[in-house]
Amino acid sequence: MFKQIVETNKRTSLIVDAFEEVTHMIERAERMFDAACTAFMSDQERDIDISAEDRAINEGERMIRRLVTQHLTINPTQDLPASLALFSIVHDVERIGDYAKSLSELCQWQSDSEGSDAGRQLHKKIAPLFGQLLQALRDEDVNAARQVMRTHEEVKIACDTFVTGAFQDEASNRHTVVQVMAVRFLRRISAHLSNVASSVVNPLDRIGGKEQE
């Protein structure tokens, strides 16, 4: 869907500009994610201004909605599926930025700079998904998109296992609460990445859902 638009003679079209802005937003969200995880897991200084990056992502969402709306106003039937898909996935990308910012804000409550094993393992699983997602979108790579969605299912299981164990552990304390919140934020980041990836795998009406058997 997106690959055909980008590769045709529509390089100056509004819809191409909107698609390219989505990829820039994903790249920005990845930088936020890496910085937030590094700060939370190892107590290192953040090398970017996460709040500024989040504001830039929010502006990117508004820009994409303007571009798509303008495109549909001028050409209401041209590239309609791609236009509607962009409207859907841009919100997921914006939410990734929100959760990365929330993870960063947890650092003030972090009492153990090493974080939790569960958090580190989830970070390792999620970090490669950004690159896989960009490949899936740019190349219409269904296999890459499916890998993002499959990995998210693994993240969900790992997250639920950790949270259940934390609530059942009588020794749980303030530090445990912070770790549970961090794990939940990581799960939501993974979920929104999977939602975006589903736009490559699923028909328009099932974006954000699992692939049909």
| Mean pLDDT across the chain | 89
Query: What's the whole-number mean pLDDT along residues 157-184?
Result: 89
Take residue 161 and report the two structure tokens written for it.
């296992």
Half-sphere exposure of 197 (CA within 13 A, CB side): 29
Query: What are the pLDDT digits (tens) for 43-82?
Result: 666 678 999 999 999 999 999 999 999 999 998 888 888 8
Q: What is the pTM of this model?
A: 0.92
Take residue 17 and report the two structure tokens written for it.
């500009």
Q: Please, what is the Cα angle at 33 between 204 and 181, to 5 degrees?
A: 90
Question: Which of the residue ranges 29-43, 131-145, 198-212 has the most confident prediction, judged by mean pLDDT?
Answer: 131-145
Query: What are the pLDDT digits (tens) for 71-116?
Result: 999 988 888 888 999 999 999 999 999 999 999 999 888 766 555 6
Q: How many CB atoms lie within 10 A of CB 2?
A: 26
Kind and range of the H or E element at 63?
helix 50-74
Query: What's the whole-number mean pLDDT along residues 11-19?
Result: 81
Long-range contacts made by residues 21-25, C-beta under 8 angstroms, separation at least 24? 21/60, 21/63, 21/64, 21/67, 22/60, 22/64, 22/86, 22/89, 22/90, 22/93, 22/137, 23/134, 23/137, 23/138, 24/60, 25/57, 25/60, 25/61, 25/64, 25/90, 25/93, 25/94, 25/97
- 56: helix, coil or strand? helix
Q: Is the pLDDT of residue 174 over 90?
A: no
| Cα 210 from chain centroid (whole Å) | 16
Predicted local confidence at residue 112, as pLDDT: 60
- CA-derived radius of gyration, the chain: 18
Q: Which stretch of 78-92, 145-159, 164-178 has the lowest confidence by average pLDDT?
A: 164-178
